[in-house]
Every structure is written in C-alpha cells, then in structure tokens.
A and B are shown apart, each in its own frame.
Chain A
Amino acid sequence: ETGVTQSPTHLIKTRGQQVTLRCSSQSGHNTVSWYQQALGQGPQFIFQYYREEENGRGNFPPRFSGLQFPNYSSELNVNALELDDSALYLCASSLGGVGYTEAFFGQGTRLTVV
C-alpha cells in the first residue's frame, strides 16, 4: 500500500470522447508524474507537475493535459481519444523530482478505447 490512489480503476470510452483520470498523492509529496503503459511495454513518461506547475513533459501530444491542485492531487485529461490510447495509466508521487528519490505509484487506471 503506497498511499497513492487512482480512480477509476477501469474505464471504457469510445473513440473521440474525452476522459479524466484522478490521482491522490501520498501525504506530503509535492510532485506527481503520469505514465502510460501499453500492454507488454514499460511505462512511458507523459508529464510531471511540481507545486501545481507542469515542469516536464514526455513525447505526448497536447491532447494529453493535466492539473495539480493545492492539496497535490492531480488529474490527467485526454481529449479526442484514439484506439492507441488504450493502456494502463499510472501516477507516481514523490517529494521532489521523481528519480532523485523513491517514487510511489498508484495501482493504475485501465483505459480501454473502443
């Protein structure tokens, strides 16, 4: 149990729709990052938020956007869903930039786009 919770656990959406995934960080952590994991692959970095500001982004199009709130919870929004967006979405919280210290991952949201 890492203290990082994600909701929902599973989601089915239709191509073209929009989706919002939520993450509640571990208490005291000021940094949250989001990852996309396709089946059989390792997680791919989407973006990172530090104190409510995006401070890093991977190779994902602008239709992937996010928010971090004052209580350090976070959202990942994906617009105009495509079939290839079907994946496990993971959030990770840490104190400071992930990679410098241990990152705590949630259990993920399994998104299926049909």
Chain B
Amino acid sequence: SQQGEEDPQALSIQEGENATMNCSYKTSINNLQWYRQNSGRGLVHLILIRSNEREKHSGRLRVTLDTSKKSSSLLITASRAADTASYFCATGGGADGLTFGKGTHLIIQP
C-alpha cells in the first residue's frame, strides 16, 4: 500500500512559472523526502525534511512540512523545461524501506 499521496496527479505550467505539488501521508513520521524521476529512469533525491522542521530550501526548491495535517508541499520556483519529471514524496525508512506515493507528473511548457 502507498502511504503518501501526491496532489495533483498531473500539472502543466509555462516555463518561468512556479509549480506547487502536495503530499499527504497517514502515519507519524521521522522525516519526509522528495524525489524526482525523469522518464521512468532512476530517482534523484531532492530534499529531506525532518519532523521537527517546518520549512527547508535548496536552490529553487522550497519544502514545507505540517505534521499536524500530515502534509508536505514542494514548490519549484522559476520553472525550467528540465524540471519536467515526476515528483514523489517518500516517508519511512530503515528496515521498512521508503513508502512512496503515486507521484505528480509535472510538464513545463516552453
């Protein structure tokens, strides 16, 4: 079963615009991670936010975490064509492995 659920399932925006995608999860977490996947290839780690953090930045990425609502958001500012990919949130880890949602498919229109 998949704990995290990303929303929306698909998002299409113009280059230069900001893209926001959301993730909801069901159980308590120690941390939450976001990954990017290009065209069914391997996943690339974007950012890890711990349960005691509310916001984290990395370049054009901004991640927020609201543990009371069991939700997280990923904001990509000033989007580029190269940002076209699927984005997954993941929770858990250790002996239970990571639990991924179904992902948000982001398309950046030139």
Interface size on B, residues (CB 8 A): 28
**B94 in complex: contacting residue of A39, A47, A90, A100, CB < 8 Å:** A100
The answer to whether B40 touches A88 (Cβ under 8 A) is: yes
Closest to A54 in B: B95
Shortest CB-to-CB span from B31 to chain A, Å, is 7
- B residues touching A (Cβ–Cβ < 8 Å)? 2, 4, 30-31, 33, 35, 40-45, 48, 88, 90-103
Do the beta carbons of A98 and B93 come within 8 Å of each other?
yes
Partner of B31, one of A39, A58, A99, A107: A99
Contact partners of A107 in chain B: CB under 8 A? 41-42
Our pick among A37, A56, A88 for the contact of B97 (Cβ within 8 Å) is A56
Cross-chain contact B97 with A33 (CB below 8 angstroms):
yes
> Which of chain A's residues have a CB closer than 8 A to the CB of B95?
48, 55-56, 97
Given contacts A35-B98, A41-B2, A42-B103, 13 further A-B contacts (CB under 8 A): A35-B97, A42-B100, A45-B96, A45-B98, A45-B99, A47-B97, A97-B95, A98-B98, A99-B92, A99-B93, A102-B33, A103-B45, A108-B42
State the CA gap A46–B95 with chains docked (Å): 11
| Choice from B40, B44, B45, B88 contacting A42 with Cβ under 8 Å | B88
A92–B44 CA distance with the chains assembled, in angstroms: 10
CB distance from B64 to the nearest CB of A (A): 19
A56 to B98, CA, bound (A): 11
Residues from chain B with Cβ under 8 Å of A102 in the complex = 33, 45, 48
Q: Contact between A40 and B94 (Cβ–Cβ < 8 Å)?
A: no
> Would B96 and A103 count as touching, CB distance under 8 A?
no
Whether, in the assembled complex, A2 has its beta carbon less than 8 Å from a beta carbon of chain B, the answer is yes
* Contact string against B for A residues 88-111, beta-carbon threshold 8 Å, 1 for contact and 0 otherwise: 101010000111111111111010
A97 nearest in chain B by CB position: B94
Most chain B CB neighbours (cut-off 10 Å) among A4, A35, A105:
A105
Task: Tell which of B30, B42, B97 touches A45, judged by Cβ atoms closer than 8 Å.
Answer: B97
- Alpha-carbon distance A61/B98, docked complex (angstroms): 18
